A and B are shown apart, each in its own frame.
Chain A
Amino acid sequence: MDLISLSLFDLALASGLVLLLAALSWRLHLGIERRILIAAARSTVQLVLLGLVLKVLFATTNPLLIGLLALMMLSVAGWEVMARQRRRFRGAWGYGIGALSMFLSSFSITVVALTVLIGVTPWYQPQYLIPLLGMLLGNTMNGIAVALDGLTRQTWEGRNRIEAQLLLGATWSEAIADIRRDALRAGLIPITNAMATAGLVSLPGMMTGQILAGSPPMEAAKYQLLIMFLIASGTGLGSVAAVWIGARRLFDGRHRLRLERLRAARG
């Protein structure tokens, strides 16, 4: 089977659909036409650049360049997690908690997948590493952003109920246990739902891509399964780490709730 190459004209037609959506938003006063257009433009530029970069990377397999690209992906994801928080941790924590949790989960799972599961040599071969890491980062990013946002927002609103428990002699961990559980659950719902409906309702993106590229459907399904399991465990690990570090940071050594360590996001 041959891969049918897309022409610029095909893409232009598809982008016309997005323009149509923007026009609809404008006509219905939804007020999101600007954001739609900017997001579409961003993804165009970013994906074209990535295509160019990967082309070079694949040709060289230079570990330094690959590491650099991975680092850039991580730092953007960390920034994105922070940007989605309505109540952010002050100082380096605001960026650090999300970035560190993503680093711990996504990077370690990617490395395990490449060395043990898929068995690529060398393990950092960019054709496998970059797409895997990208999918993991993208999904953990969503999970962690949702979980952290739930943690900080509920804590901010739940000051009375947390302090009431502290006042009766609860430890910080007991006092925030229910909020921590809620936040984790919220972070894990998207991936749980995705796994539950995969194949019945949606054809997941990666499988779609492989089938379009001409892979046998069974191979595509196996890869998709692998990715989903990796994503689920990565999101879970990352969210647990982020929520645990975040919850700890909300209290000090004397089990006091320190809400001044959060600040409201501007805008």
Chain B
Amino acid sequence: MAALTLARLQPKLLAPIELEIGAGELVFISGPSGAGKSLLLRAIADLDPSQGEVLIDAQPRSLIPAPEWRRRVGLLPAETGWWADQVGAHFAISPAEPAQASAMATPAGAVDATPTQGGFPDEVAQVKGDQLGITGLARLLARLGFQSDVLDWDVQRLSTGERQRLALARLLVNGPEVLLLDEATANLDPSNRAQAEQLIDDYRRQRRAAVLWASHDPDQRQRLAQAAGGRCFVIEAGRLQAESPA
């Protein structure tokens, strides 16, 4: 659980930004393409150089090593990147402790959870600190509509939507305390989008994660912000302002 604070953070093209997102809060940003939504998210994740400071639970970013910062403040970029041939190889990067024996020993039948069966697998997460075991990953994938054999799939043959959903799973299994989402559901069909929205919502509530979501879909912003009591901002002329209700 973590709150995110932007203290006069100044990404490229934008005026300095003051913004506080509480633990478990949902905040949307929108704006015309090229306004700088992605640049803002990249600046927060420390992927682009920026002026100013970002704090996670009052810890300044400048005092946290960059790799650790990016694990804790997880960005899902609009365009996902894949560096290995098979899907499964992309889930092994977190320098996590190896999955615990109990999780490894879970019989295969128990791994095969159906999407309707469970909520977000946070009981697993609590047992193992912030790392999800094999069970957690399988359930996460199931909630996004994948069988666990997806890990053997060839990345080249994935559709854009599949890539987006798998990138979300890859990010969440890393256990970030803050989520930065850049058009997280832009390429998904309605049913997949609903699944992804639900998963993100569960993650936000159960982990009390601050979520900053760039979305160009006004309907999605309104619907989710209303349900979660979230705020909406818009980037206009290089400034971040509260979005006037449509």
Neighbouring B residues of A167 by C-beta, 8 Å: 45, 47, 70, 74-75, 77, 171
Taken residue by residue from 146 to 175, chain A's Cβ proximity to chain B (1 for < 8 Å, 0 otherwise) reads as 000000000000111111111111110010
Pick the most buried of A169, A255, A256: most chain B CB atoms within 10 A of its CB.
A169
| A164 lies within 8 A of B77 (CB) | yes
| B48 lies within 8 A of A256 (CB) | yes
Interface residues of A in 86-126 (CB under 8 A from B): none
B67 within 8 A of partner (CB): yes
Neighbouring B residues of A255 by C-beta, 8 Å: 66-67
Which interface class (under 10, 10 to 19, 20 to 34, 35 or more) fits B? 20 to 34
Neighbouring A residues of B66 by C-beta, 8 Å: 254-256
| B77 lies within 8 A of A170 (CB) | no
Count of chain A residues with a beta carbon within 8 Å of a chain B beta carbon: 21
Query: Closest approach, in angstroms, between the C-beta of B219 and any C-beta of chain A?
Result: 28
Query: Closest approach, in angstroms, between the C-beta of B86 and any C-beta of chain A?
Result: 14
| A161 lies within 8 A of B82 (CB) | yes
| B49 lies within 8 A of A169 (CB) | no
Taken residue by residue from 184 to 226, chain B's Cβ proximity to chain A (1 for < 8 Å, 0 otherwise) reads as 0000000000000000000000000000000000000000000
Pick the most buried of B47, B66, B77, B79: most chain A CB atoms within 10 A of its CB.
B66
> How far is B170's CA from A167's CA once the two chains are assembled, in angstroms?
11
| A168 lies within 8 A of B170 (CB) | yes
**Known pairs A171-B67, A256-B48; A161 contacts B81 (CB<8 A):** yes
Neighbouring A residues of B49 by C-beta, 8 Å: 252, 254, 256
Query: Closest approach, in angstroms, between the C-beta of B237 and any C-beta of chain A?
Result: 25
B46 within 8 A of partner (CB): yes
> How far is B43's CA from A69's CA once the two chains are assembled, in angstroms?
50
> How far is B40's CA from A198's CA once the two chains are assembled, in angstroms?
57
Known: A158-B83, A254-B49; 16 extra A-B contacts, CB below 8 A, are: A160-B80, A160-B82, A163-B77, A164-B80, A164-B90, A166-B70, A167-B47, A168-B93, A168-B174, A169-B70, A169-B71, A169-B174, A170-B67, A254-B46, A254-B66, A255-B66
Cβ contacts A to B, 11 pairs, < 8 Å: A160-B79, A161-B81, A161-B83, A164-B77, A164-B167, A165-B93, A167-B45, A167-B70, A167-B74, A168-B174, A169-B68
